[in-house]
Amino acid sequence: MTRRPTPAEAADATRRWVVDVVVKLGLCPFAAAVVKPGRVRYAVCEGNSGGDALKLALEEASLLLTTPPQEVSTTLVIFPYALSNFHAFLDTVAEFEGALSAVGADGIIQVPSFHPDFVFQGADPDDPGNGTNRAPYPTLQLLREEEVTEAVDKHPDPEGIPKRNIALLRKLAGV
């Protein structure tokens, strides 16, 4: 039986993934600007149900909206004990997005999602390109839409980022 990570270990593993994979490989060309000055919040859900995950994600969304971007630019909500099933995770993501919409946060918070078993719709589960959205644990990223828009507007080819990332991961895997 595999030992459950402590919340601190889950946060550390996710932090290392952000630095060693996301930033180092340039999977998100905007990440370094908030990682290096320490404006990423890592919140670990200690509960083991979808309801626990949803509750913490909503609390973190509220915290993000009430914290200046100079302090916290983005939050990664990590679920080391819940949502290990990819489809249950996707259901919770949809429920969370619905809850954000219900409180008028559409267009205010953007929610990329990451999962150890992430598979793009129509992709082969073994395709290395799925790695662009694979994290050590099921994770929601909470971003302020205005910061995303500002960063994307400055990027020379934002539409090309996903294709470049998939190609890079396939190349690194020798595919």
- 13 is a domain residue: yes
Beta carbons of 86 and 119 less than 8 angstroms apart: yes
Asked if residue 45 belongs to a domain, the reply is yes
**pLDDT tens-place string over residues 77-92:** 999 999 999 999 999 9
Residue 2 lies in a domain: no
**Full residue range of the structural domain in which residue 69 is found:** 7-172
pLDDT tens per residue, range 39-74: 999 999 999 999 999 999 999 999 999 999 999 999
Q: What is the pTM of this model?
A: 0.95
Tell me if 1 is assigned to some domain.
Answer: no
Inform me whether the pLDDT recorded for 2 exceeds 80: no
In a domain, 23, yes or no: yes
Count structural domains, the chain: 1
Question: Do 101 and 58 touch, CB atoms closer than 8 A?
Answer: no
Query: Does the residue 96 lie in any domain?
Result: yes
> How far apart, in whole angstroms, are the C-alpha atoms of residue 100 and residue 68?
19
